[in-house]
Amino acid sequence: MRGLSVVRILITSVMPGSVVIYWLTSSVIGLVQTVVFNILDQRRKLLLSASVAEVVVPQAAAPVSPPVSKVAPAPLAAPPTKSRKAKAARR
């Protein structure tokens, strides 16, 4: 990666100024973003470790499973259909 910076310097020496400004601002924004995210990540880790140290988890009794029903659920009934005579009468 360090070799890439040297190559970038050589390329920017022959490029127009706007490309140099773009690369410079892009690099600075990326650096600031990395620093901010690292700081936020460290804060989050510290807050999590502090909150975990403060919480005392009580020992739970044996796990209770929900009661098991031995009756099978009733099958869903099909909607009632009209007879042929009722359909013919409507026409």
Q: Does residue 68 lie in a domain region?
A: no
Asked if residues 31 and 24 have their Cβ atoms less than 8 Å apart, the reply is no
Q: Does residue 61 lie in a domain region?
A: no
pLDDT mean over 19-45? 89
Q: Does residue 12 lie in a domain region?
A: yes
Domain count, the chain: 1
Q: Does residue 27 lie in a domain region?
A: yes
Task: Name the band, by pLDDT with cuts 50, 70 and 90, for residue 15.
Answer: confident
Q: Does residue 51 lie in a domain region?
A: yes
Backbone phi, psi, residue 32, to 5°: -65, -40
- Greatest alpha-carbon pair distance for the chain in Å reads 92
Q: How many other CB atoms sit within 10 Å of the CB of residue 12?
A: 14
pLDDT digits (tens, 9 = 90+) for 33-72: 999 999 999 988 888 776 655 555 566 666 666 666 666 6
Give the residue from 31, 10, 32 showing the smallest Cα distance to 20: 10
pLDDT digits (tens, 9 = 90+) for 63-89: 666 666 666 666 676 666 666 666 666
The reported pLDDT for the residue numbered 19 is 78
